[in-house]
Amino acid sequence: MEKSQQDCQEELAALKKEFDDFVYIVSHDIKSPMRAIANIATWIEEDLSNGLTQDVTSNFELLKNRVNRLENMMNGLLELSRVERAELEFYCVNIPKMMSSCFDLYRNNHVEFTLDTTIVTENFITLGAKFQKVILGLLDNAVRFNDKEQIKIRVTILESDDEFTIEITDNGPGIPEEVVPKIFSIFYTVNSKDVVNTTGAGLAISCKILKLVGGKLKYTAGISNGSIFTLNWPKNIILKN
């Protein structure tokens, strides 16, 4: 017997929910044994404090650092599983104001921001927390992975009848062509996680947010190195359910 389209849709929705619940429960419940490992390592280190060689001390540091990384990854997974459930409030966002408050966060990092915009609609009602999360995530990547002394980030905002197009260009190292298809996968990092301390969850979370709102996120290589992330954010968002 062939399934009707509605049956398939219902089944898909149920599967999606089951998957989100699974990720949530797993990442949540794994936290307590993980915490136990971190705590016990600290206690052993404290109890042995007088007789520790340099080697043992640095191994303890490594152990705690890796548990920390595990926690960040778990938090990333949790966040990913909650994209469709948390922070779903619509409120009024003033785009230029929001941008400048995002830029302010990096005031101490010697970052040179340029904002290029011709938008007419400055205020619009949207999923504000999600919108800011995506923008901040992209700015954070542009700063964090930048290898230049003077970091330069240019943000261009265009407006059409039904969406905003936001382009974030940086003067960083760019992303090697062969790994570009992988950058939106969870936990993928271009360099070893030892080089730049990051979990690799940010772009996966941003992508899921854009899927939720019906927008798009894409990467293109900059003309002279650097990365360009282009984000399309719809003016009207219709949430299913």
Partner 1 sequence: MNQKLVNILLVEDDEVDVMNVKRAFSKNNIMNPLFVAGNGIEALEMLENQIIPLPKIIILDINMPKMNGIEFLKIMREKEKLKNISVFVMTTSNEDTDKINAYNLNVAGYILKPLSFEKFLTSVATLKNFWQLCEM
Under the binding rule (CB under 8 A), the answer on residue 32 touching partner 1 is yes
Residue closer to partner 1 by CB (options 82, 152) is 82
Under the binding rule (CB under 8 A), the answer on residue 35 touching partner 1 is yes
Residue closer to partner 1 by CB (options 205, 217) is 205
Asked whether 82 and 24 are in contact (CB, 8 A), the reply is yes
Among 31, 152, 193, 216, which residue interacts with partner 1 (rule: CB under 8 A)? 31
Residue in the structure block whose two tokens are 């800011």: 132
Q: Which amino acid, one-letter code, is at 112?
A: E
Segment near partner 1 (CB under 8 A), from 33-41, 117-125, 184-192, 211-219? 33-41
Under the binding rule (CB under 8 A), the answer on residue 63 touching partner 1 is no
Among 13, 40, 179, 239, which residue interacts with partner 1 (rule: CB under 8 A)? 40
Segment near partner 1 (CB under 8 A), from 63-71, 122-130, 211-219, 222-230? 63-71
Residue closer to partner 1 by CB (options 32, 108) is 32
Contact positions with partner 1 (CB under 8 A) in 68-97: 68, 71, 86
Segment near partner 1 (CB under 8 A), from 31-39, 88-96, 129-137, 139-147? 31-39
Among 20, 23, 26, 38, which residue interacts with partner 1 (rule: CB under 8 A)? 38
Under the binding rule (CB under 8 A), the answer on residue 211 touching partner 1 is no
Asked whether 168 and 139 are in contact (CB, 8 A), the reply is yes
3-35 burial, b at 16+ Cβ within 10 Å, e below that, comes to eeeeeeeeeeeeeeeeebeeebeebeeeeeebe
Under the binding rule (CB under 8 A), the answer on residue 221 touching partner 1 is no
Asked whether 190 and 206 are in contact (CB, 8 A), the reply is no
3-class secondary-structure state, position 92: strand
H/E stretch holding 197 reads none
3-class secondary-structure state, position 118: coil
3-class secondary-structure state, position 30: coil
Crossing angle of helices 31-47/5-29, nearest 10°?
Answer: 10
User: Where does this chain bind partner 1 (CB under 8 A)?
Assistant: 28, 31-32, 34-36, 38-40, 42-43, 64, 67-68, 71, 86
